[in-house]
Amino acid sequence: MTLAAQLHDLAVDIAREAGELARRRRTEGVAIAATKSALADIVTEADREVEELIRDRLRRERSGDGFLGEESGAAPVSHGGDSDITWVIDPIDGTVNYAYGIPAYAVSVAAVAGGSDPEHWDALAGAVFNPASGELFHATQGEGAWLADTRLTVNAKPSAAGALLATGFGYDPATHASDLARVGRAMTIARDIRRIGAASLDLAFVAAGRLDGYFERGLHPWDFAAGALLVTEAGGRFARVEMPDAASRPLTVAAGPGVFERLLSLTTD
């Protein structure tokens, strides 16, 4: 078995176990533990518990690897390891959905080579698991993207009615006007737009052909590490573009080949 295949199997197993813990804690009720960058950007006690479960599994099974995760206290933290592999983890992507009982949240687990900088890493394996639906999206570099045992393929081009797109908005109110203006430009090629609230699921849905494209400014590495691999392994395209405002994080765009260039152009103008 190749290294990528080994990492894939572990990512899938961890995503399932962590997702089951998240689901169980949700049925028991969630508590808001802290706020992060803004009031809307909440951390639940379950976030922390799920990340600790993942870290424990990796310490036992891949102790020399690096780790980049969203939760450690109330701020992101990166811990370097001794190997060339880094695990990029979002323990509960879609925390607001999770806290409100909206069944659109996911555990995102990716293994990358070459360090924790997404501009330089090479994604080897990833898994995105939605505990509420039981859907497991997973991919291995060079081996395709899958939903359970069904191979995924992006939509080659949108229907005559236009592209079904998804987006999200940053937590900083100062960015909302520009985000809404970007949506307005994208709507010129859209039949409709979705705001799901979990980037990993948006990307998984592009890979599965449920969406024609997705764009969002300000994602962190753990938001897209697994999802980006799903998209590219399903035949789609993925890009991160620096924005003119140096203080802004890049714009992420993912889509099938028939809409990607137009969506990229409209959202980066």
Instruction: Report helix, strand or coil for 183.
Output: helix
User: What was the pLDDT predicted at 77?
Assistant: 37
- Rounded CA gap, 189 and 165, in Å? 9
* pLDDT at residue 144, rounded to an integer: 98
Predicted local distance difference test score (pLDDT) of residue 247: 54
Buried b (16+ CB within 10 A) or exposed e, 92-128: bbbbbbbbeeeebbbbbbbbbbebbebeebebbbbbb
This prediction's pTM = 0.92
Distances (CA, A) of 153 to 73, 145, 166: 38, 8, 18
Whole-number pLDDT of residue 102: 94
Q: Which pLDDT score, from 0 to 100, does residue 248 have?
A: 64
**CA-CA distance, 232 to 254, in Å (whole number)?**
9
Alpha helices in 29-130 (DSSP H): 45-61, 95-100
Chunked into runs of 10 residues, the chain (269 residues) has average pLDDT values of 96 98 89 66 83 94 89 45 89 92 96 93 98 98 97 94 94 82 94 97 98 95 97 98 73 97 93
